[in-house]
Structure 1
Amino acid sequence: MNRSSSWAVAILLLAGLPALAEPPAVKAVLLDDLSILEGTVQEFDGGFVRVTPATGAAKVLSGKSITYVGDSRDKVYDFVASKANIGTADGSLKLAGWCEKVGMTDRALSHARAAAALAPTDSIVREAVVKLEKAVAAKPRTDPAVKPAAATAPTTEKGPPQVAELPADAGIVFASKVQPVLLNQCANCHAQKGHTGAFKLTRIAEGYTNPEATAANLKATAGQLNRDNPTTSPLLTYSLTTHGGQKLAAFGDRQRPAFQHLETWVLAVLPKATGKGFAGNWAPKAAAVPEAEPVSLPGAIVGTSAQPVVAKPFAPPAPVAVPPAAVPPKSNSRDPFDPGRFNSLPKKAEK
Structure 2
Amino acid sequence: MNTLFLLSFSLVALLGAEEPAPASVPVKPAIKGKVLLLENDRVLEGDIELVGDRYKIKRTIGETWLPTNNVVKLCPSMDDAYMFLRSRTNLDDADERLKLVSWCVRYGLKERALEEATAAVQLRPEHSPSVRLLTHLKASIEQDQFRKEINTVVQAEEVPTVLPIEVANDSLSMFATRIQPILMNTCATCHSTGKGGNFKLQRVYGLSKPNQKNLQQNLAAVLSQVNLQQPDNSPFLGKALTLHGGANKAPIKGRESETYKLLEDWVRMTTVRHAIAQVDNSPSAFAEDKGGVKPMKPTAGPKEKEGEKEANPFDPEVFNKLFNPAK
TM-score tier by shorter-chain length is: 0.3 to 0.5
Q: TM-score, normalised by structure 2?
A: 0.34
Q: TM-score, normalised by structure 1?
A: 0.32
Greater relative contact order (CA < 8 Å, ≥ 6 in sequence): 1
More helix by share: 2
